[in-house]
Structures are given as C-alpha cells and as structure tokens.
Amino acid sequence: MSEKIAVIGAGLIGRAWAIVFARAGFEVALWDAVPQALQGCRQLLQDNVGDLAAHGLIDEAAEVVLARIRTADSLADALQDAILVQENVKETVEVKREIFAEMDRLADPKTILTSSTSWIPTSEFSEHLPGRDRILVAHPVNPPYLVPLVELAPAPWTSKATVERAHDIYTRAGQSPVLLNKEITGFLLNRIQGAVLNEALNLYENGYASAADLDKVLKDGLGLRWSFMGPFETIDLNAPEGVLDYARRYGHTYRDVAKTQPPNEWKSETLERLERERREELPAEKLGDRARWRDNRLMGLIAHKRNQEK
Ligand SMILES: NC(=O)c1ccc[n+]([C@@H]2O[C@H](COP(=O)([O-])OP(=O)(O)OC[C@H]3O[C@@H](n4cnc5c(N)ncnc54)[C@H](O)[C@@H]3O)[C@@H](O)[C@H]2O)c1
C-alpha cells in the first residue's frame, strides 16, 4: 500500500501540496475546516494537473494523479495512518497553535507534523506540546509543484530523526529541501527576497529608475543566472580564481554600498506611485490572466531545466 500524506487546509498552498505528493505516488487525504473549500477544490486540482500534463511535467495520465487525492471527512480521518501531515491554514500564531495542538492530540506519535507557514518559527507554535519533537516548518514556494524549494526549519527540540525523515519524504516527493541550522523569522527565501525588495524600493523611491527598468534588472540580468545558480556560485565564477579573488577585487565596494542601503519604510506614497505605474503596465482586470501566463512560463522553464545537466 502507498504511503499516505495528510494535507490540512485546501486553499492555494494546500491544493498545490496535494498535487506534489500525488504526482510522486503518495496517497493524499485533503481536509479543510470550511466544507465549501473542499467542494470547490476538485475542479481547481483538475485545471492545475491538466496544465502540468500539457507541459509534460507529469509522467502519468492526469486522472491517475488526481485519483490519489481524496477529501477527508474530518481532521482525525485525514490524519489516520499518515506518515506526514502538511498544514496550510491561516497565517497567524494563534491559529497555528490551535491546529497543531489538535493535530498533536490526534496523530499517531510516529507521524511527522509540518507547517507551510511563511514567517512563523516552529518554536512559536510547538513549545508546550507533548509531541513537539515531531513538529517542524516545511515552507514551500508558490506553487510547490513548479518551484521545488522547501525550507525545513526545525525548533531546537525537533528530533534529528524527524528532520532526517522529513528530508527524505520531501526528496522522494520531488522537492529540493534546504535545512536551517537555527530558527529565524522569515527563514531563508523570504529574508533574501526582502533584501532585494528593500533595495529595489529604495532605488525606486529615490528616483534612480522606473519600476519597469528595475524589474528588467532582474528578469534580463541577475535572474537569468539565478534560475540555475545562486549568488555564491555566481561570484565564484566571476573572478578567475574564485570567491576570495572576487572579494579582493570587489568586496570593499560592496561593503561601502551596503552602508548606503538603509531599511526601506514601505511608505504609502512610494507604494501608491508603484501601484499607478504597474496598473498602467497591467490593468487590474488582467492580473489573473497574467498570473496564468507566469505559471505557463514557469512550466516551460521547469521543463527546460529537467533536460539540462545539474
Ligand atoms: N500563498 C503563498 O504564496 C504561500 C507561499 C508559501 C507558504 N504559504 C503559507 O501557506 C499557508 C496557507 O496559505 P494559502 O495562501 O494557501 O491560504 P488560503 O487562504 O488560500 O487557504 C487557507 C485555507 O485554510 C482553511 N482553514 C482556515 N482555518 C482552518 C483550520 N483551523 N482548519 C482547517 N482549515 C482551515 C481555509 O478554509 C482555507 O481554505 C499559510 O501559512 C501561508 O503563509 C503561502
């Protein structure tokens, strides 16, 4: 019998996780506290899996993948016999505390409990639970069936065995796990995204360039390399003798520039100006179409990356 994963919360991220696990051959039980969310999700799952099939990103017929996803009658029903539970409910500490207390009470002690939270460290919602050694954050990127990174961010009391088992399960599900050695708000990805946004907002606010040109810096510049190598590998290759050589040549310049990069205050005047510029570029009624275009571009890129050497 296939191993079972429970996915709690059938919103944007929960549905996407259901596809990740089902695509990899796991049985998935999906549950949501709001019955309409569960009723509405079948069509959305079909649309997303259909898009993946159209791009050659699933190895089986769409119906075979979809048949592995069933909706559960209750939280207890979803958790029964699951090897791992992926929680995807509302992003507040109170709600996470409540759902993890309930899941810790209901789930078999061997079941790993993970949260998709984008910002909240594991210790903030697991500290007082009897099963806290089997709880950790597994933060995905939207949508995880296209973007494989998952950030594993355990609390100091999460057991090593739990982390190793979770790492193995996400790897077998086709994801690319990274491990945080210590807890920090926002984990790795959102902190790095925050640093980029901070500087882009500073440059925009102070009139150095238009929003469109700042977007181009990433999409026609840095982003091209970043889709297959990170900033450290980039600098390792950008000086003939590697990282230390790069640092000798340019380190002092980066250090000086960093002193002119203060925290951006996300001022409403700046954001309203940015909103106006974006709406001239893309009217509000076209946001949905453009998101679908983005997902199709991503699927094309993932299909290309699959055929390349690592
Ligand atoms: N949206 C993103 O880009 C993104 C990316 C990474 C991580 N996350 C994280 O994933 C989680 C879910 O985000 P989302 O964007 O899918 O939200 P969403 O609003 O689309 O879905 C949340 C779902 O949880 C259900 N729910 C609320 N309380 C519940 C409860 N107590 N028990 C069961 N179900 C409950 C709601 O009915 C809803 O269907 C959040 O913690 C978020 O930070 C989101």
pLDDT-above-70 percentage for the chain: 100
Residue 152, CA atoms < 13 Å, CB-side half-sphere: 24
> Which residue CA neighbors atom 12 of ligand 1 most closely?
88
pLDDT digits (tens, 9 = 90+) for 235-280: 999 999 999 999 999 999 999 999 999 999 999 999 999 999 999 9
Q: Which atom of ligand 1 lies nearest, measured to the CA of 95?
A: 31
Neighbours of 56 (CB within 10 A): 11
Name the pLDDT band for 308 (thresholds 50, 70, 90).
confident
Best of 15, 74, 89 for a ligand 1 pocket test (most atoms within 8 Å of beta carbon): 89
Whether the Cβ atoms of residue 257 and residue 203 lie closer than 8 Å to each other: no
Whether the Cβ atoms of residue 310 and residue 176 lie closer than 8 Å to each other: no
pLDDT of residue 307: 85
Q: Phi and psi at residue 71, in whole multiples of 5°?
A: -90, 140
* 115 sits in which H/E element: strand 112-115
Tell me the CA distances in angstroms from 17 to 66, 117, 206, one per residue in order: 12, 13, 40
- Collect all residues with Cβ–Cβ distance below 8 Å to 245 and sequence separation of at least 6: 239
Closest of 66, 47, 49, 68 to residue 57, by C-alpha: 49
Name the pLDDT band for 183 (thresholds 50, 70, 90).
very high
**pTM greater than 0.85 (yes/no):** yes
Name the pLDDT band for 17 (thresholds 50, 70, 90).
very high
Least confident of 70-84, 147-161, 205-219, 295-309: 295-309
Average pLDDT, the chain: 96
Ligand 1 centroid – CA 41 distance (Å): 13
Q: 119: which 2 tokens?
A: 């910002």
55 pLDDT higher than 90: no
pLDDT of residue 187: 96
Name the pLDDT band for 105 (thresholds 50, 70, 90).
very high
Reported in sequence order, the residue ranges of 155-215 that DSSP labels E, i.e. its strands, are 176-179
> Which residue CA neighbors atom 28 of ligand 1 most closely?
89
pLDDT-above-90 percentage for the chain: 94
Closest of 76, 77, 75 to residue 89, by C-alpha: 75
Using a 6 Å cutoff on CB, does residue 118 contact ligand 1?
Answer: yes
pLDDT of residue 1: 73
Using a 6 Å cutoff on CB, does residue 116 contact ligand 1?
Answer: yes
Q: 296: which 2 tokens?
A: 């199709």
Closest of 103, 153, 94 to residue 123, by C-alpha: 153
58 pLDDT higher than 80: yes
Using a 6 Å cutoff on CB, does residue 33 contact ligand 1?
Answer: yes
Cα distance between residue 20 and residue 136, in whole Å: 19
Using a 6 Å cutoff on CB, does residue 144 contact ligand 1?
Answer: no
pLDDT of residue 78: 98
pLDDT of residue 266: 98
Whether the Cβ atoms of residue 55 and residue 15 lie closer than 8 Å to each other: no
Calculate mean pLDDT across residues 203-215.
98
Ligand 1 centroid – CA 182 distance (Å): 25
47 pLDDT higher than 80: yes
pLDDT of residue 309: 75
- Collect all residues with Cβ–Cβ distance below 8 Å to 40 and sequence separation of at least 6: none
* Cα-Cα end-to-end distance for the chain: 33
Q: Which atom of ligand 1 lies nearest, measured to the CA of 118?
A: 43
Using a 6 Å cutoff on CB, does residue 186 contact ligand 1?
Answer: no
